[in-house]
Structures are given as C-alpha cells and as structure tokens.
C-alpha cells in the first residue's frame, strides 16, 4: 500500500471506486474541478473506456483539459465513443448524457473548486437531484460515491440531506455505507457509498 488511506479521504474514495471499474467501462466524474479525479478515472477505464465529466465552471474545464492533455489522455466529444468528455453543465442533468447501457460508477467530490471561487459550490438541491439521477444510470453492481465536506455552511446542509435520504434507501435495492473520520476535528471529509443490487 503506497498511501495511508484513512488519512487521505479522496485517495481512499478512489481506491474504493476503482474496485467497481474495469477497462472499457463508462464512468461519470460528477464534479471535475481541477481534473485529478477525471484523470484517475480515465486511467482506470483505459483507452477503450469513457469518462463523462461535469462542472459548472469554465475554469474547471480549462484546468482539467490542461491536465489531461499533459498526461496524453484522449478528449472526445459526443460523437466519439471512447475517451474523456468534458461537459459544462450541472451534474443534475447527467441523465441526458448517458446512453442506455448505464455506467459502472459515479463519483462526486463535493464543495468548491480548490484554488477557485469559493462562492461557487455544490448545493444541497442540485446534488440531491444529481445523486438520484446517478442511482438511475448506474448499472446493477455499480457504485455511486460521494466525498462530503461539511466544513462550510452549504456543505454541512448538503451532507445532512444526503445522509438522511441515503439512510431511507430500500435495503432490498441498495447497500449504503458511510465512512466518517471519527476522532478528527474541523469537519474532515467523509465518504458516502451506495451500490445498486
Ligand atoms: C471539490 S471540487 C472537485 C474536485 C475534483 N474532483 C478534482 O479532482 O480536482 C468541486 C467542483 O464541483 C463543481 N460544481 C459545483 N456545482 C456543480 C454542479 N451542480 N454540477 C457539476 N459540478 C459542480 C465546482 O465548480 C467544483 O469545481
């Protein structure tokens, strides 16, 4: 093991997500930000797979494009079958961009763009819509993973709404897990995991 996983929540989340992805799969990065998760997902699905990545900020698409191009990752548009597609739209609309066969995994890394405008953050309303849509498009056996940040007001509301909703999901249809950094101060990131049976 190269990382101490319980000290690096986003790395831990990606380790878990990686267990649900094989080469050639289609996956969604619901919050592309600076593209680190998009790049990791692109490596997991390989050249025959697809990553559909969303953000509402042009800066996020620019940063992600620069990162992916520096790593030699193929970018594609709607007409191309494989590669990474960067979409300037809210993840609440993700259903519109997914074909009939569904996706293996959907990752949300909530909050605001690191190094960007902190006033542009994921919101309870849009995230709830997007996570519900993610459950619709994920294949049976697939995973929806959300990294939660409750250290700011909107993040705390978003986390509370997500956890309350996820607790009530039918145990006949879904398995839900919640990973919390139990002894850490200052609202550390946490992980919500939902798999469809
Ligand atoms: C914590 S960052 C994501 C980090 C990113 N995954 C990475 O690897 O760098 C959260 C991102 O969500 C974006 N965001 C906010 N609301 C959104 C929405 N409704 N749909 C898609 N992205 C959104 C923000 O613009 C921000 O870039």
Query: The domain that contains 28 carries what CATH number?
Result: 3.40.50.150
pLDDT in tens, 38-51: 999 999 999 999 99
Nearest CA to ligand 1 atom 16: 122
Distance 172 CA to ligand 1 centre (A): 31
The per-residue pLDDT for 1 is 61
Q: Which of 122, 130, 152 to mutate to test the pocket of ligand 1 (most atoms within 8 A of CB)?
A: 122
The per-residue pLDDT for 21 is 98
Cβ-based burial of 164 (10 A; exposed 0-12, middle 13-18, buried ≥19):
exposed
Q: Which residues line the pocket of ligand 1, CB cutoff 6 A?
A: 31-37, 54-57, 60, 90-92, 109, 111-113, 120-122, 126
Considering the entire predicted model, what is its pTM?
A: 0.97
Q: Which residues of the chain have pLDDT under 70?
A: 1, 79
The set of residues, in sequence order, having a beta carbon less than 8 Å from that of 36 and lying 6+ positions away, is: 10, 67
The per-residue pLDDT for 150 is 93
Nearest CA to ligand 1 atom 12: 31
* DSSP bridge pairs for 163: none
The per-residue pLDDT for 136 is 97
pLDDT in tens, 160-180: 999 999 999 999 999 999 999
Nearest CA to ligand 1 atom 21: 55
Residue-by-residue DSSP string for 141-194: EEEEEEEE--SSHHHHHHHHHHHHHHHTS-TTTEEEEEE--TT-SS---EEEEE
Count how many domains the chain has: 1
Nearest CA to ligand 1 atom 3: 33
Q: Which of 41, 55, 64 to mutate to test the pocket of ligand 1 (most atoms within 8 A of CB)?
A: 55
Distance 101 CA to ligand 1 centre (A): 25
Domain that holds residue 180: 5-196
Which ligand 1 atom is at minimum distance from the Cα of 30?
21
């Amino acid at each position: 093991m190269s990382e101490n996983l319980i000290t690096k929540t986003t790395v831990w989340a990606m380790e878990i997500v990686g267990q649900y992805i094989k080469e050639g799969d289609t996956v969604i990065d619901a919050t592309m930000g600076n593209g680190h998760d998009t790049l990791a997902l692109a490596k997991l699905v390989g050249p025959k797979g697809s990553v559909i990545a969303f953000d509402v900020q042009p800066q996020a698409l620019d940063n992600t494009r620069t990162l992916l191009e520096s790593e030699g990752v193929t970018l594609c548009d709607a007409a191309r079958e494989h590669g990474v597609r960067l979409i300037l739209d809210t993840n609440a609309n993700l259903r519109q961009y997914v074909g009939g066969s569904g996706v293996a995994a959907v990752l949300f890394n909530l909050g605001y763009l690191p190094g960007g405008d902190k006033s542009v953050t994921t919101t309870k309303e849009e995230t709830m819509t997007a996570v519900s849509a993610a459950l619709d498009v994920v294949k049976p056996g697939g995973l929806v993973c959300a990294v939660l940040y409750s250290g700011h007001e909107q993040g705390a509301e978003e986390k509370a709404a997500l956890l309350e909703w996820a607790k009530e999901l039918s145990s006949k249809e879904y398995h839900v897990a919640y990973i919390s950094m139990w002894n850490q101060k200052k609202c550390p990131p946490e992980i919500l995991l939902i798999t469809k049976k």
